[in-house]
Amino acid sequence: MTASGDVTFVFRTHNTARYSMAAIIGALETDPRLQDLEIVAPHRFSLGLVRQIAARRRLIIGYSIMSTSRQELLKEAQYIRKEFGDSIVLVGGGAHATARPSELLSHGFDYVVVGEGEQAVRDLVDAVINEREPAGIPGVVTQQDESYPSPKDLPTVRLDDFPPFAIKTNVGGPIEVTRGCPFRCKFCATPFITGGRVRHRSIDSIVHWLSLAVDKWGFKRTWFLSPNALSYGGHGRRPSPEKMERLLRRVTSVPLFEELYFGSFPSEVRPDFVTRQLLDMMRQYVANKTVQIGVQSGSDRVLQLAGRNHTVAQGVDAVRIALDCGFVPHVDMIFGLPGESQADVSASLELCYDLVEMGAMIHAHVFMPLPGSAFENMPPGHLDRRCREVLGDLARRGVLTGSWGVQEDLARRVASPQ
Ligand code: SF4
């Protein structure tokens, strides 16, 4: 048995970490060095499970931490460190870990993976198993480090080098087809974490993993993850219709595969990428009846302050085109963005009514100052009484979704010091 034969890696299951769990476990289980590593993706993570495994094996617990779940997870990790001492290795990664590595280290984590995790986690787990210091692994920081790397200075991951999910460990998930975004919306942490260079998973790789999932799991449907679905195949600044059609045609031809969801929640499309030609083509292949469009505000001034690089009119055009092409547009709107005045809020609420009148649905959000975003130091979004009343009215009519009440509270928690 190799050194990895007495080590177990447990991924701390959490509803904010489902996608990263599939990708990270997929990366671990396909590394030839780690074939004897026991990987556990528990349906429910518990201290009982930790005690049970730690009693018989060396244990690494992997956390993927988003800013919205950091309070609960950091508290738990701190407790685990206290109860188990140095007998357990705690590894943290994810969006919050990338932006605030020191917060994790001060809560007892041994190692933090900054930036894209697939290769770094593989190398780190291999180092831990073989009791080597992980010095020199790009993106891995430890208690001894005095400064931390920025994701932009780290090697970028090539999606084709890793599976999108974990076939062997049986952890499914969407297929991430595009990573990175060249836009710089100030409320968004994606450009900080995954960089401005757009990378696509190749069609061959997508079809390969999808076919395996169909064979092994009887996968009948899947959805694609992308910061901007209509950017597939290009450099990220404009669509590449031929490559996109090739992708959709090949994927929907996989035998026994039935439904592809593309450009719908949790992915999104930018309004300035929506054209009749693209959506008409998409309609022939995809199963989704909806398309998720990020309009974000009814005020050009707020859009400009947020660095969105499109106008309200482009948003309205995109909604009209989506309707003409037979989709129900689901429109993302953010309330409480920095610099938003009362007049801007009114413009956003008016826009919601207009879009609903046209036949769209609204997906309402409250601005959160996400660490790593350009707006990270801005005050969290707050909804005034009129805004609540209008959103509540639209929700009661069944044309608006989104948990803006919960998000307002989450936004405050994201903004608060640990
Ligand atoms: S909101 Fe979308 S388009 Fe803007 S930076 Fe984030 S991922 Fe890119």
Per-residue pLDDT reduced to its tens digit, 385-411: 999 999 999 999 999 998 888 899 899
**In this predicted structure, what is the pLDDT of residue 2?**
53
Task: Say how many C-beta atoms besides its own lie within 10 A of residue 235's C-beta.
Answer: 11
pLDDT tens figures, 252-263: 999 999 999 999
d(CA 77, CA 84): 10
Helix (H/G/I), strand (E/B), else coil: 221: strand
**In this predicted structure, what is the pLDDT of residue 403?**
85
For ligand 1, atom 6, the nearest C-alpha belongs to: 188
> Can you tell me which atom of ligand 1 is nearest the CA of 268?
2
Give the chain's radius of gyration (CA, Å). 22
- Beta partners for 166? 171
Angle between helices 342-358 and 312-324 (to 10 degrees): 10
**CATH 3.30.830.10 is right for the domain spanning 4-152:** no
What is the Å distance from ligand 1's center to 38 Cα? 37
For ligand 1, atom 4, the nearest C-alpha belongs to: 185
pLDDT tens figures, 4-33: 679 999 999 998 899 999 999 999 999 999
**In this predicted structure, what is the pLDDT of residue 46?**
96
What is the Å distance from ligand 1's center to 8 Cα? 37
d(CA 138, CA 363): 38
Residue 146 phi, psi (nearest 5)? -100, -20
CA dihedral 48, 170, 223, 309 (to 10 degrees): 60
What is the Å distance from ligand 1's center to 155 Cα? 21
For ligand 1, atom 2, the nearest C-alpha belongs to: 227
User: Pocket of ligand 1, candidates 177, 178, 179, 181: which has the most ligand atoms within 8 Å of its Cβ, to mutate?
Assistant: 181
What is the Å distance from ligand 1's center to 41 Cα? 30
Element (H, E) at 247: helix 241-252
- Beta partners for 221? 259
Contacts of 352 by beta carbon, 8 Å cutoff, 6+ apart: 298, 331, 333, 362, 364, 390, 391, 394, 400
What is the Å distance from ligand 1's center to 252 Cα? 27
**In this predicted structure, what is the pLDDT of residue 418?**
65
Residue ranges of the chain with per-residue pLDDT less than 50 = 1
> Can you tell me which atom of ligand 1 is nearest the CA of 187?
1
What is the Å distance from ligand 1's center to 186 Cα? 9
Q: Which of 217, 216, 165 is nearest to 26 (CA)?
A: 165
Superfamily of domain 174-415: tm_1862 like domain (3.80.30.20)
**Residue 398 burial (C-beta neighbours within 10 Å; 0-12, 13-18, 19+):** exposed
**In this predicted structure, what is the pLDDT of residue 417?**
73
Contacts of 356 by beta carbon, 8 Å cutoff, 6+ apart: 362, 394, 397, 399, 400
User: Pocket of ligand 1, candidates 177, 178, 179, 183: which has the most ligand atoms within 8 Å of its Cβ, to mutate?
Assistant: 183
> Can you tell me which atom of ligand 1 is nearest the CA of 181?
8
Do 174-415 and 4-152 have the same topology in CATH?
no
Domain boundaries, the chain: 4-152, 174-415
Q: Which of 258, 286, 357, 272 is nearest to 321 (CA)?
A: 272
Residue 366 vs residues 187, 220, 297, 349: alpha-carbon distances, Å: 11, 34, 11, 13
User: Pocket of ligand 1, candidates 186, 225, 270: which has the most ligand atoms within 8 Å of its Cβ, to mutate?
Assistant: 270
User: Pocket of ligand 1, candidates 188, 267, 331: which has the most ligand atoms within 8 Å of its Cβ, to mutate?
Assistant: 188
What is the Å distance from ligand 1's center to 259 Cα? 26
> Can you tell me which atom of ligand 1 is nearest the CA of 296?
1
For ligand 1, atom 3, the nearest C-alpha belongs to: 183
Q: Using a 6 Å CB cutoff, which residues line ligand 1? A: 181, 183-185, 188, 190-191, 227-228, 270
Helix (H/G/I), strand (E/B), else coil: 259: strand
What is the Å distance from ligand 1's center to 81 Cα? 36
